Amino acid sequence: MRNHVGIWIDHKKAVIVQATDGRVTTSTLDSEVAAHPHFGGQQDGGGEKKYEERRSHDLARYYDEVLLQVKAPDGLLILGPGEAKRELLERFVRSASRGKCRVELETAGVLSDGQIAAKVKEHFSMAR
């Protein structure tokens, strides 16, 4: 039984496509990470530093939640427009679920769930 997974991710949401023996399922996970506020004027170092620490912890929790959805994949394709894909890859490499999984990164803009599923099928050479 082959388990191929594709994840489109940014800091707002993740779309997870799992393809196991021809059966494809799609799920979405919202991050709940607050958008970056703008700090103006002179800073005493308190507000922005605390915000960055909290955001870092929130993102780590978000990436862990995404990886909990992915059980020991044979192949993993991580897609996305920004840094979230690289951050997720770093988290995955350190996780216990990595095994001998082959992982690839690809930059991709905003895609519909159907487009993401099609990209995953194409990447892993699955029939449509």
Q: Which has the higher per-residue pLDDT, 89 or 54?
A: 89
User: Is residue 67 included in any domain, yes or no?
Assistant: yes
Please provide the DSSP assignment of 25-42 as one string.
EEEEEE--PPPPPPP-S-
User: Is residue 40 included in any domain, yes or no?
Assistant: no
Count of other CB atoms within 10 angstroms of residue 116: 20
User: Is residue 13 included in any domain, yes or no?
Assistant: yes
Range of the domain at 116: 3-32+46-123
Number of domains forming the structure of the chain: 1
> Token pair for residue 125?
């050479």
User: Is residue 69 included in any domain, yes or no?
Assistant: yes
For residue 118, give the CATH number of its domain: 3.30.420.60
The tens digit of pLDDT for each residue in 28-66 reads 999 988 666 655 655 555 667 787 888 889 999 999 999
User: Is residue 37 included in any domain, yes or no?
Assistant: no
User: Is residue 71 included in any domain, yes or no?
Assistant: yes
